[in-house]
Amino acid sequence: MLEEPEAPPRTQHRGSGAHASRKPRGPRFGEQFDLFPPKITIESLDPRTLLGRRTRVAGLWRVTIGVGDVHVVFRDRHGLYCEAHGTSCRAARAVGDRK
C-alpha cells in the first residue's frame, strides 16, 4: 500500500503583522452616511388630473434629489413605490418618512 505523505504542520497566525492592530474604521458597506446630504424636494401632484378620473392611485409625488435626479412616487393598493426603482428607492422612503 502507498502511504500519503504527511502535510507539514500549519503555523497559527497570531496577528503580529503590520495589519494586526488595525480595526475597521467607519461604516460598513451599505451604512455610509452623507457628510453633505443632497437636498430632497417633494412636490405633491394631483393623480386625478395627471392619470385620469378613474385612477386608483391615491397619491402622486415628484421627488427631486440633489440636482436633476427626478423620481415619480405613487401610492396605491400595493403601497408606496418609485416608478423606476420600486419600493427600495430612496425617493419612496423620503415620501414615506414625510408623513
Residue 20 lies in a domain: no
| pLDDT mean over 68-74 | 94
> How many domains does one find in the chain?
1
Cell numbers for 22: 488595525
Residue 24 lies in a domain: no
- Structural domain range at position 45: 40-98
Quote the longest CA-to-CA distance of the chain.
Answer: 87
Over the stretch 26-62, which tens digit does the pLDDT of each residue have? 555 666 677 888 999 999 999 999 999 999 999 999 9
Cell numbers for 50: 395627471
Share of the chain above pLDDT 90, in %: 57
Cell numbers for 61: 409625488
Residue 55 lies in a domain: yes
